[in-house]
Structure 1
């Protein structure tokens, strides 16, 4: 059985855990009423995780472009291979699109992103109250698309593990 390389496995699980953390933190922070110190701290943590996910996604994409993924099992129908391929494309697009949309949403609100409170990211746009609601919606709907894609990805992995019993899931396990 072909497996993913160790760096690919590490990046997969690290990014997955960070995305889950960012998503949970995002849901928590937006439900805190008012503008409290805790809410502001959570917003910072959320942004830092997003920047980290974006950086790791860049590394992951570079790794993926230079290291071939293991082939799908020969018994896997062509339509499932095509769906799996396109699901991975969607997940990659969302790994980039969500942090970028959040970054521009923050800038449109006039709030610069300072990674870890130490490294200011470039300000690529001036505050723009007209763009802010659009960028907020884009960030939200991309996250909902990620949630749906993530659930489908996990369900597919579980199907392969417990129904097909084809060991496909083991290729990405640490």
Structure 2
């Protein structure tokens, strides 16, 4: 198995914390449309009436911005030895799409929640589904690298994995 330098401890921590929070927000998202409708009907504004789903979404947004800043400052490990140009391009655009959706989903949610913009709520729901599809693809590719390609890619985010 090829050896590759891992991400920093901060990058790994942010990766798994964001993943956990996205999963938590997804599980807590059921019924948010009805809650938003009641919020709009009552004329509630500001943080009054925020749900755990809303707080977690805000935390995801902030942590993703921090993660982007850390990545711009420290970079990422080099691609796997032997990876082809198309694989590197797919990984680059896959990660860009993940980052875009991790920013877009909370922005749309906040726009709907604080701005009482129903079309943003509908777009938020669609964007969440796109994000989940990207996460599933990301996970499948990580497992492919670990168990098929055996190139050590997954160990960069899970250093204790053998």
Q: Same fold (TM over 0.5)?
A: yes
Which residue among 1, 5, 11 is the counterpart of 2:8? 5
Structure 2 CA distance for aligned equivalents of residues 54 and 72 of structure 1: 27
Which residue among 69, 78, 82 is the counterpart of 2:85? 78
Equivalent residue, structure 2, for 1:124? none
The one of the two structures with greater contact order (alpha-carbon pairs below 8 A, sep at least 6) is: 2
Q: TM-score normalized by structure 2?
A: 0.83
Which residue among 106, 114, 122 is the counterpart of 2:113? 106
Equivalent residue, structure 2, for 1:88? 95
Alpha-carbon shift at residue 27 of structure 1 (Å): 2.9
What is the count of residue pairs matched by the alignment?
Answer: 146
Q: CA 1:106 to 1:81, structure 2 compared with 1: closer, same or farther past 3 Å?
A: same
Contact 1:29 1:43 in 2 (8 A): no
Structure 1 CA distance for aligned equivalents of residues 78 and 31 of structure 2: 39
2:153 aligned with 1:168, yes or no? yes
Structure 2 CA distance for aligned equivalents of residues 43 and 85 of structure 1: 35
Contact 1:22 1:46 in 2 (8 A): yes
2:6 aligned with 1:19, yes or no? no
Which residue among 45, 54, 59 is the counterpart of 1:52? 59
Deviations 1:89-123 (A, max 9, x none): 111111111111100001232xxxxxxxxxxxxxx
Equivalent residue, structure 2, for 1:136? 121
Q: TM-score normalized by structure 1?
A: 0.77
Which residue among 152, 155, 172 is the counterpart of 2:137? 152
2:72 aligned with 1:65, yes or no? yes
Stretches (4+) displaced over 4 A: 28-32
Alpha-carbon shift at residue 134 of structure 1 (Å): 1.2
Q: Which runs of 5+ in 2 are unaligned?
A: 39-48
Q: Which runs of 5+ in 1 are unaligned?
A: 36-41, 110-131
Give the secondary-structure state (helix, strand or coil) at the position aligned to 2:81: coil
